[in-house]
Structure 1
């Protein structure tokens, strides 16, 4: 049994398979994810499990060299949270929400949260620890 870190078996497995430049989508409940994209679904009810605890847990486990977010998210809770953690997120790329959704099929997998805040979505690009 793991001593620390993410205990969710499928999420832990997906993280272990990541390589340099692989992309992870952290999504709110409403983001339309492609049917072909593997999804680790953590949503239980609206608000549980939320965007920020999931992103914090992921950032404790992986190296991120950049992130993509929708311009529309800048004024919301997710945008403020991402601004506060810029040092762990690497370079930022801003796209319109429609352009953001067009990037989803290029991700390795997605984590669907129970977040019910509009535009609480981010794509994380993996870096390397060396």
Structure 2
């Protein structure tokens, strides 16, 4: 049995096979997921698992150098936005590397998910609780 935090086999495989600049999306329960993109559906019910819990686990398993968020997140869900930014600051301290943050419109965000290796769907029901992670390197 795996010893690290990530027990989900699909997520474990995904994080183990990410290459530099590969992108993955973590989304709320309502984000449309392109048919051609791998869907890893974790959603059980409203709020379970949460967006932030899923973000934390992926950050613990992957080196992230960039994130993309919809600009609407800061406007519509400022508390979640602030909590997410804090997660990124904490991760920068843990890994000693900076994380570049980019904002796009929600419509642009949805188009960009088509380039993700996978979209991880959570049970989150907070508006615009979506992020694209760009993989970095550990060296």
Match of 1:7 in 2: 7
Q: 2 CA distance for matches of 1:85 and 1:91?
A: 13
TM-score norm. by structure 2 comes to 0.89
Match of 1:70 in 2: 70
Match of 2:134 in 1: 125
Query: Where in structure 2 are there 5+ consecutive unaligned residues?
Result: 93-98
Match of 2:58 in 1: 58
Q: Mapping of 1:77-116 within 5 angstroms?
A: 77-87=79-89, 88=91, 90-116=99-125
Q: 2 CA distance for matches of 1:78 and 1:26?
A: 14
The Cα of 1:78 is off from its aligned counterpart by: 3.0
- Equivalent position SS for 1:74: helix
Q: 2 CA distance for matches of 1:25 and 1:122?
A: 6
> Which 4+ stretches in 1 moved above 3 angstroms?
none
Q: 2 CA distance for matches of 1:78 and 1:96?
A: 17
Query: Where in structure 1 are there 5+ consecutive unaligned residues?
Result: none
Q: 2 CA distance for matches of 1:122 and 1:7?
A: 21
The structure carrying a bigger helix percent of its residues is: 2
TM-score norm. by structure 1 comes to 0.95
Match of 2:34 in 1: 34
The Cα of 1:85 is off from its aligned counterpart by: 2.2
- Let me know the Cα RMSD of the aligned residues: 1.1
Check whether the contact 1:78–1:119 (CA below 8 A) recurs between aligned residues. Answer: no
